[in-house]
Amino acid sequence: MKQKGFLVVLVFIVLVFAGYFGYKYFNPIPSPSPSPTSTLTTSAVPTAEAIITSVGTVSGKLCYPSSFLPPGEIVAKELDSGKTYTQTYEGTFNGGGLTYSFELPVDTYHIRYQAHASTKDTSIFTSGYYDECAKTMHTNECTPDSGHINIPVTIKVGEEITNVDLCDFYYNPTQEQTLNKSF
């Protein structure tokens, strides 16, 4: 009986030590970072302030020809470089609101809301654009081709551009080709 008790205590001690050293091995304490020396030049390293001040914000309404907004993405494409920035939108059934706010680097963009037309295939979408029709009316009454041309949005340092409503879903196939050329 004493041998069983001794064996149980010995196994317990071994398990405690194994757990302690295993924890130390898999969760090492990070060493303190070295302090900067006087030879480090800050001109080559971007500061957080420089990164933050080189952006602005665009915001507006999201629309969709239904009583709800489906999940999708807000896409901004730089006009000069062609680089695109995407922000995921969850949809109103998943807690998304009726507006958006998108922080972007300083540049000029075309912006659209890509609403997923299918929950099974996210590559199928219909787009709401920012153009004259989005600014003036949200129905299929905006028919002139000149109303279905993307409006460039220029983002400036630290500024917010408001009322960039991504609401023009009412276009014919020819107008859609014109709108989609930017993307």
State the DSSP string of 55-113.
EEEEEEEB--SSSS--SEEEEEEETTT--EEEEEE--GGGT--SEEEEEEESEEEEEEE
Mean pLDDT estimate for the chain: 76
pLDDT of residue 80: 93
- What share of the chain has pLDDT > 70, as a percent? 68
Q: What confidence category does residue 12 fall into, taking pLDDT thresholds of 50, 70 and 90?
A: low
Distance CA 13, CA 168 (A): 71
Q: What is the sign, positive or negative, of the torsion defined by CA atoms of 86, 171, 96, 123?
A: negative
Host H or E run for residue 7: helix 2-26
Query: What pLDDT is stored for residue 144 in this prediction?
Result: 72
At 53 the pLDDT is 59
Give the model confidence (pLDDT) of 106-140 as tens digits. 999 999 999 997 777 777 888 999 988 887 765 55
- Domains in the chain, start-ordered, CATH in brackets? 52-180 (2.60.40.1120)
